Amino acid sequence: MNYHDTLSYLMDAFGGADSLQKLLGVGPSALSNYRRREHLPLNQARKLSNIAPKFGFNLDPYTLKISVIDDDRKPEILLIITGGIAAYKALELIRRLRDFEFSVTAVMTASAQQFITPLSVSALTGNKVYSELFDLTDEQEMGHIQLARKADLVLIAPATANFIGKMAHGLADDLASTLCLVTEAPIFVAPSMNPHMWTNTATQDNCAKLKRRNISFIGPDNGDTACGETGSGRFAETGFIISQIQQKLLQKHSSADIFPSEKQTKPLDGIKILITAGPTLEPIDPVRFIGNRSSGKQGYAIAYACAEQGADVCLISGPVSLEAPLNVRLIKVETAQQMKQACADELDVECVICAAAVADWQVKQTANAKLKKSNNKPPEIVLTETPDILSWIGHHPSRPKLVIGFAAETDSLKKNADDKRARKNADWILANSVLQSGESVFNSDINEVLFLSKTGAEYWDTDSKQAIARKLVHRISDYFSDVHVSGVQKKENI
């Protein structure tokens, strides 16, 4: 087939001349020029190659040859593991990626091999692990260019400060860094390092450079790091990393990418929501704590439902045995103080939902060593109040537009919850009786809610925590669509 024929063929394959012009972002004259010159510029060929799978075939941008899609082909992740303390978490990440039907090929830096062995990585990926740039056998079997080309996405996890620096400066002194320059696939970086290393201007400048080059970052999270310091630098949660990758790969093949004007929107697109969930545990001594029976199920269900509707969700959770929902950034805390600090760090949002069962009291003086049983009498424990997070957010100078709290009461449900809403300056309160139908709401999968706002109250029938979450998210979507339409904060909608 000559070039003229190829372009005619492409026109048919991509749905006709109009469609092809739209996909390439050109007018009819450019298309006839391509035909006349018998040349399609490489950048245009790449655009078509990216979109081709949506039309049911693959297109090689260099030869313009079309091939049939292998439906069974799993998306190919090139995972670059660098030498940080979180390298061991790459093993769990590989396991979860494979659960999600990704094919994973790993490349390890020399430093990464000081932390975990290529043998463990290879056992989990089911593929050979690559690390040497100058390995002749590899070049025959799978050259570094092919390794980069076959990837649908490159994920660097964990990414050290050193590796981020090398990428920012375009260095290519080992296989991993060379691949980052060769690949045309999207690159995701999941950093993990000591908080001082992360906030260092050098690291931040390097990250800013990479972001300008369209390299995406996943995390890092706030919290305790392996080096014993607290702050930003924690490796992001595995579930969150996978959700970001899934989103990117789905986007690549979705119709939204074909014609940007047809992009599908969700009700909470672009809305940032902060959610607290689970209990807080207040230490008495190194082995004992004051806690409560919160399972976190309601807060996690709300986080899931908000993310499903397009919100950018940060979930701050006390200790629970639940998996982080996909698409949600999780920050784990233990005490009320830590939860408040995490909320302070993440308060730049439009909506806050305080669903955590924060302890009311903490021990005034936590013992440094385990309290011993003595023959005399039990130890006296002096309690003091924990920070009131909902009230602190409700009265904060940078108060988010919509503040929602939960109230668990044992008696006078409406009156107590109403008082709580006013006292804490919350917009809405979801109140539930702790002793509903004689059984505790805490570990249950169902909930019964009294929804209270400044102007009214509404009973929501007993339903699953997921259904209650969807109902709340519906309300939140209505609220923000009204705010959006009127340009001012909506008064009330019940």
Ligand X SMILES: Cc1cc2nc3c(=O)[nH]c(=O)nc-3n(C[C@H](O)[C@H](O)[C@H](O)COP(=O)(O)O)c2cc1C
Q: List the catalytic residues.
A: 227
- Taking CB under 6 A as the binding criterion, the range among 13-21, 49-57, 82-90, 348-356 that sits at the site for ligand X is 82-90
- Taking CB under 6 A as the binding criterion, the range among 108-116, 179-187, 400-408, 430-438 that sits at the site for ligand X is 108-116
* Footprint of ligand X on 332-371 (CB under 6 A): none
Q: Answer for the pair 55, 65: CB distance below 8 angstroms, yes or no.
A: no
H helix intervals, 253-380: 255-258, 297-308, 336-345
Closer by beta carbon to ligand X, 167 or else 307: 167
Cα(266)–Cα(272) distance, rounded to whole angstroms?
A: 13
* Backbone torsion region of residue 458, taken as left when φ is above 0, otherwise alpha when ψ lies between -120 and 50, otherwise beta: beta
Q: Is the dihedral of CA 19, 24, 25, 31 positive or negative?
A: negative
- Taking CB under 6 A as the binding criterion, the range among 76-84, 256-264, 327-335, 460-468 that sits at the site for ligand X is 76-84
Question: Taking the complex as a whole, how short is the minimal distance between the CB of residue 117 and ligand X, in angstroms?
Answer: 15
H helix intervals, 106-169: 112-115, 118-125, 136-142, 144-149, 161-168
* Footprint of ligand X on 110-169 (CB under 6 A): 111-112, 160-163
Cα(40)–Cα(12) distance, rounded to whole angstroms?
A: 16
Closer by beta carbon to ligand X, 85 or else 326: 85
CA distances from 326 to 98, 149, 243 (A): 15, 28, 5
Helix (H) / strand (E) element for 392: namely helix 389-394
Helix (H) / strand (E) element for 205: namely helix 201-212
* Backbone torsion region of residue 56, taken as left when φ is above 0, otherwise alpha when ψ lies between -120 and 50, otherwise beta: left
Q: Considering only residues 83, 318, 325, 394, which one is a binding residue for ligand X as defined by CB under 6 A? A: 83
Closer by beta carbon to ligand X, 82 or else 243: 82
- Taking CB under 6 A as the binding criterion, the range among 20-28, 106-114, 314-322, 424-432 that sits at the site for ligand X is 106-114
Closer by beta carbon to ligand X, 174 or else 418: 174
Question: Taking the complex as a whole, how short is the minimal distance between the CB of residue 105 and ligand X, in angstroms?
Answer: 18
How many Cβ atoms are within 10 Å of 405's Cβ, its own excluded?
27
Q: Considering only residues 85, 142, 381, 457, which one is a binding residue for ligand X as defined by CB under 6 A? A: 85
Q: Answer for the pair 35, 4: CB distance below 8 angstroms, yes or no.
A: yes
Residue located via tokens 């069962």? 357
Question: Taking the complex as a whole, how short is the minimal distance between the CB of residue 166 and ligand X, in angstroms?
Answer: 7
How many residues bind to ligand X according to rule CB under 6 A? 15
Question: Taking the complex as a whole, how short is the minimal distance between the CB of residue 277 and ligand X, in angstroms?
Answer: 28
Closer by beta carbon to ligand X, 111 or else 216: 111
Q: Considering only residues 44, 103, 105, 109, which one is a binding residue for ligand X as defined by CB under 6 A? A: 109
Q: Considering only residues 61, 75, 84, 186, which one is a binding residue for ligand X as defined by CB under 6 A? A: 84
Question: Taking the complex as a whole, how short is the minimal distance between the CB of residue 129 and ligand X, in angstroms?
Answer: 14
* Footprint of ligand X on 166-205 (CB under 6 A): 192-193, 197
Closer by beta carbon to ligand X, 14 or else 163: 163
Give the number of C-alpha atoms closer than 13 A to the C-alpha of residue 134, restricted to the C-beta side. Answer: 3
Question: Taking the complex as a whole, how short is the minimal distance between the CB of residue 80 and ligand X, in angstroms?
Answer: 9
Cα(389)–Cα(274) distance, rounded to whole angstroms?
A: 12
Interface positions with ligand X (CB under 6 A): 82-86, 109, 111-112, 160-163, 192-193, 197
